[in-house]
Structure 1
């Protein structure tokens, strides 16, 4: 660039930049082209953007302010009423973009943001009908090649860009189709995995429900055992009470028999005494003696039977008492 510092304040009407040859008129148009995202080759001056920097300088910075008002404005909330696009280039050929809103705040540093803004305002920096530099104009006027004129026509009408976009879109569609096929395949795999996991989840839920039912049944079974043991204990206690009553009855009978035995013994003693008194009468004494012996044998037999029955009842009472203690202990353990 031949300008150290140059500022233009364009208006919304027709603007014309005039000057002598070599004064830098084309430099202004090239600066606008480069700032709005154009390539160095679009200027027909050079292919390396670093060569646009003024001799002896290490970098150049160009800013273009776009009006962002009216019905065609883009994202007012983000950019405001004006958009400042700045491009800084170095002699090494590197460049850096900045997009600022109307308050000077940087909102983006991406090239695609500038491409979106330029496309929105229909600024065609690579279109020779929009940015017609001297070299392209001379070549168009001097050339006799219909091919070059046709290429110029393609650029001017944006047909060339449309063809390039179409080819690019075709490639992207092909890639998208490949991705779609991969995604469909992956989706089927994921669906298969999902169905497998659903089956496992369903099985796990059935196992959990079965375990819950088993726990409930186990609880009911344990309570049923407790109830059954309590019922058995109640029946045992009832039978024990009946046996105790029977033992008491037998005990009373035994005591009565003992009393009878005592009475019989007293009677026997009395008879013996009387027999002694009538000892002189041998026949009478023998009869009395035999009768007494017979009564004594019968009495002793009844005594033995009664004692045997009493012992049997006492043993059964002892067994029932021990069984009651065991059942009570088992019920206490189950209730814990």
Structure 2
């Protein structure tokens, strides 16, 4: 496709727009020169602060070894270039790089088809502006968010979400979805991203059903319908989980009461053991006291016996004296 003649209707001086060009020497494995040009519109309009694409860079993507980095303007950008220079590759990379499915690009049914022939992987790096009051986690990402996607030859992909300083903030797709929702970026909405194949189908189709599907996508009603269905399914699953949780809670309460009762019994058993030890000591001392009582009684009996023996001794002595006196009288 020939390059278009470019005019700036926003600038009062009709100044020429800055142009960035790239030469790609790897088109379909050949060394034919391909040039792609990005024309950035400059105007007096206020530039968007969040959600716009600042730059994109591709490596081993489709038939291109390296494309970019291309820096986009704040407002309207025109991408022009010869056939095979990478215009469609950039659009396809935007869809795939921001989490879109392969079928949404109308360029293939699997991600592995985007890896350049003879290579093991492809990489996409997209920088999104993140400034102003509506910035997404500005204290973490800063003024820009870098979305990097690595596509393996087996069709798997991984994400890295980096801050303005290059620090990896997250590798989860859920974080990317949150960013896209925050910026209202819809890569699968034909109004936001209209591929060549989709526009051809829309213009050539005479089926009212196809046009209605396009309308549903463009107005996000289809997405709302899917979200509503997902919410209802989630609601039913949540209700089921709540019911299961309530049943489980009842069982846990019953087990808790049983364990409390066992604990009380164990606590009572501990008290009984303490009392048993106390009674053992008391019993030992009771035996000692009983033996001491018996010993005292024996001592008393011995004392009484000793006193009786002393009396008998005195009486015997008295009788002996009397006998001796009788002997003296008789003699």
TM-score band, normalised by shorter chain: 0.7 to 0.9
Give 2:100's aligned residue.
38
Whether 1:71 aligns to 2:140 is no
Q: Normalised by the size of structure 2, how large is the TM-score?
A: 0.73
What is the Cα deviation at residue 254 of structure 1? 1.1
Q: Distance in 2 between matches of 1:232 and 1:20?
A: 126
Give 2:237's aligned residue.
175
Give 1:117's aligned residue.
179
Give 2:306's aligned residue.
244
Paired positions, count:
269
Give 1:163's aligned residue.
225
Is the alpha carbon distance of 1:202 and 1:92 closer, same or farther for their aligned partners in structure 2, counting shifts above 3 Å? closer
What is the Cα deviation at residue 120 of structure 1? 2.1
Q: 1:89 aligns with which of 119, 132, 151?
A: 151
What is the Cα deviation at residue 235 of structure 1? 4.3
Instruction: Give the superposed CA RMSD.
Output: 2.4
What is the Cα deviation at residue 9 of structure 1? 1.2
List runs of 5+ in structure 1 lacking aligned partners: 271-336
Q: 2:195 aligns with which of 123, 133, 141?
A: 133
Residues 9-18 or 259-268, more deviating: 9-18
Give 1:317's aligned residue.
none
What does 1:124-273 correspond to in 2, within 5 Å? 124-268=186-330, 270=331
SS at match of 2:147: strand
What is the Cα deviation at residue 64 of structure 1? 0.3
Whether 1:24 aligns to 2:86 is yes
Whether 1:14 aligns to 2:112 is no
What is the Cα deviation at residue 107 of structure 1? 3.1
Is the alpha carbon distance of 1:234 and 1:180 closer, same or farther for their aligned partners in structure 2, counting shifts above 3 Å? same
Structure ranking higher in strand proportion: 2
Q: Distance in 1 between matches of 2:74 and 2:327?
A: 156
Residues 122-131 or 222-231, more deviating: 222-231
Q: Distance in 2 between matches of 1:83 and 1:149?
A: 35
What is the Cα deviation at residue 131 of structure 1? 0.9
Q: Normalised by the size of structure 1, how large is the TM-score?
A: 0.72
Residues 25-34 or 220-229, more deviating: 220-229
Structure ranking higher in helix proportion: 1
List runs of 5+ in structure 2 lacking aligned partners: 1-61
Q: 2:168 aligns with which of 106, 120, 125?
A: 106
What is the Cα deviation at residue 35 of structure 1? 0.5
What is the Cα deviation at residue 21 of structure 1? 5.1
SS at match of 2:71: coil
SS at match of 1:26: helix
